[in-house]
Amino acid sequence: MAKILIALGILLLVIGCIWLIFPSAFSWLGNMPGDIKYKSGNTRIYFPIVTMVVISVVASILLNLFKR
C-alpha cells in the first residue's frame, strides 16, 4: 500500500510539473466528445462523462500494473 501511495505522489508531482511548464498540455481534459455542457443564461451544467471513463480506465490499468 505504501508503494502505491508513493507512486501516486510521484505521478502527481510529474503531472503538476508538466502542467506548470506546458499549461496547454492537458487542455483536452474535460473537452472530450461526449462530455455534456449546457449553458442557459446564468445556469451552467457540466458533466464530463467521457473524461471520467478515460481517467477510470487509466487508473485501473495503472493500479493493476502496480498490484502485480
| Helices and strands (H, E) in the chain, number of each type | 2, 2
pLDDT band at 43 (very low <50, low <70, confident <90, very high): very high
pTM of the model: 0.60
Residue range(s) defining the domain that contains residue 18:
2-67
Q: Please say whether the beta carbons of 38 and 54 come within 8 A.
A: no
Asked whether residue 56 carries a pLDDT value surpassing 80, the answer given is yes
**Looking at residue 28, what is its pLDDT?**
76
Q: Please say whether the beta carbons of 35 and 48 come within 8 A.
A: yes
The domain tally of the chain equals: 1
SS3 57: helix
| pLDDT tens readout for residues 9-31 | 998 999 899 889 988 877 777 78
